[in-house]
Each structure stands twice: as C-alpha cells, then as structure tokens.
C-alpha cells in the first residue's frame, strides 16, 4: 500500500490539523513562500514520491485559496506523487451551477476545469449547493453528506413528535426531505422570491407549523437574510421554536448581526469555513472525523456510502 500523506493550504490549516489527528497522523511538512507582490510559491519540505497525497483546502474568499490549492496539486504531481486527492470541504462558486440569465459564466464548472487541469486524481467535498456539480468532473468525486454529523445532534435535542423540518426555499426541498425521512417527520417549504442576489423580496410558508419545533435545513448561510426571514415567518405562523442547520458558514456582510437579532434558537453549522467572530446563537460541529473516515476508506478502497445516514 502506498504511503499516505496529508497536507493543507494555509486557509484550512485549522481544519486539516483535526482531520489528520482523527486519521491518526500529523500534517505533512509544507510551506508557502510569498513574494513581495503577493505571488505564491508552495513547497513540500518532504518527499511525496510514490505517496497517496491528500491536500485539504476550502475555497472560500479570497480567491488566493483556490490558486494556492492548484499550485500545491501541481507541485505534488511534479514531485512524482502516486495520486493527488483534493479535499475541498467547502466548494466555492457552487452557486454558479447553471446559466440562469444570459451572458453569465458557470462558475462551478470553471472551478472543476481548473482543479482537473493541474492533475488532481480525485475530489472529496461535502454538501455541494447542487449535487449535479459532480457531473462537471471527469475524475471520481466523493460527495460527503453532512447529515451524518447533524442527525445525531438533532436526536440529542429530543424534540419528539413536535419536530418538523422546513426548507428555506424550493431548491432545498430534496435536502430537507432527506432529514424529514430519517426522523419520520413532516416538512414545509418557505417559498421565496428574490429581487437580486442576497436580497429576498417576498416569502410565504407552504404547510402548517402551528405549535411545532421547526428545523430549517440549508447547505450554506451567506448574508443570513433568507434564513432569518424564514425563521421570523415561521414564528408568525405559530411555530413553537425555530432553529437552523447549515453546513457551510459563509456568513458575510450583516450575517452575524442578523443572526443575533433573529428569532432563531440557534444556528448549527460545521467547521468547513472558520467563523470570523463568536456568536451566542451559532453552534459549530466539527466534520473532521467524517473526512478522516472518508480518507481512510479511499485509501483502503472501502465504501464511502457507508458513511451516509
């Protein structure tokens, strides 16, 4: 069996250290040199010849995170690594998965092309904004499901028969239904209309939430406009409590302020993206064990789907 080495880009070091520890090893020795003009030159300080190399890096802003990742993949391939697996807990530009108006790019396809162009042999990611993004790749994609972490936490809350799940928009119905199915619960939908990106024009609830403990399910929270507006509307419709789970805590702009001032009991997120500030309403669950088990299964050629709920 080839030697396994886990490396990280600078943006995801906090997460990669936990993944490596859960896997039972330490991070490989790599460094990033930066020239005075900002140009980057990553360098491996140990041999990767013949090794199965896993490079962990989420591609949240700035765009340098993506470029650093691509340079690291290229460096590993040129250093004769046997295989290079890109571990991208948060896949940036995933919201640009189609042409929804004339003369726009399909950003998630551009990212897929970029990753493959530098020679990555495999991609591992989690809770893509749209599952069909996997089809943009001509290499194997391991699409991990965050419900493996969120479901046990929700069970620990003992919400019982009053539990009901809600999708904050029509696009998230499939994701929300999968949670409802696990708990044998009902679901409702918050139908929203947007004026423009990050701005909700109107919203209405399809379904009955009177006296229920509602859990909103989403793949990411950006400005928190949708999730907080949905929570407020659900409370107006008679919900006893409203909490939300979202894998990727993008949390840009006024997000933290909106969450603090919202009717949400809590927002449960993962550590695929680091929080910029603490919040009494935000609870972070680590996905490091999930990724460590997935890396182990890739190395031993065991099932990845066995990690799903």
Q: Say if CB 147 and CB 306 are below 8 A apart.
A: no
Strand ranges across the sheet with 4-8? 4-8, 52-56, 83-88, 122-126, 141-144
CA-to-CA distance for 256 and 230, rounded, in angstroms?
A: 16
CA-to-CA distance for 175 and 181, rounded, in angstroms?
A: 10
CA-to-CA distance for 174 and 8, rounded, in angstroms?
A: 32
Q: Say if CB 205 and CB 215 are below 8 A apart.
A: no
Cα distances (Å, whole numbers) of residue 118 to 73, 135, 150, 293, 298: 6, 18, 34, 26, 21
Q: Which residues are catalytic?
A: 192
């Amino acid at each position: 069996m080839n030697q396994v080495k886990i490396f990280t880009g600078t943006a995801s070091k906090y997460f990669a250290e936990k993944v490596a520890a859960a896997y039972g090893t330490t991070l490989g020795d790599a460094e990033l040199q930066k020239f005075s003009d900002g140009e980057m030159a990553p360098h491996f300080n140990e041999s990767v010849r013949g090794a199965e190399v896993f490079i962990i890096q989420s591609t949240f802003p700035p765009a340098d995170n993506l470029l650093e990742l691509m340079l690291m993949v290229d460096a590993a391939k040129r250093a004769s690594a046997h295989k290079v697996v890109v571990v991208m807990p948060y896949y940036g530009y995933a919201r640009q998965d189609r042409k929804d108006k004339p003369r726009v790019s399909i950003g998630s396809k551009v990212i897929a092309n970029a990753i493959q162009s530098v020679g990555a042999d495999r991609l591992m990611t989690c809770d893509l904004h749209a599952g069909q993004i996997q089809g943009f790749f001509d290499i194997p994609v391991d699409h991990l499901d965050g419900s493996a972490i969120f479901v046990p936490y929700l069970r620990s809350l003992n919400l019982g028969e009053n539990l009901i799940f809600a999708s904050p928009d029509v696009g998230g119905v499939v994701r929300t239904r999968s949670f409802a199915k696990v708990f044998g619960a009902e679901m409702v939908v918050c139908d929203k209309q947007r004026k423009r990106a990050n701005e909700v024009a109107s919203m209405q609830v399809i379904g009955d939430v009177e006296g229920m403990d509602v859990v909103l399910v989403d793949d990411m929270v950006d400005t928190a406009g949708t999730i907080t507006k949905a929570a407020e509307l659900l409370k107006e419709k008679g919900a006893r409590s409203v909490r939300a789970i979202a894998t990727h805590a993008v949390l840009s702009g006024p997000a933290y302020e909106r969450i603090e001032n919202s009717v949400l009991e809590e927002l449960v997120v993962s550590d695929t993206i680091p929080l910029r500030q603490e919040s009494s309403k935000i609870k972070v669950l680590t996905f490091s064990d999930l990724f460590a088990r997935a890396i182990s299964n890739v190395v031993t050629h065991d099932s990845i789907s066995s990690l799903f709920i």
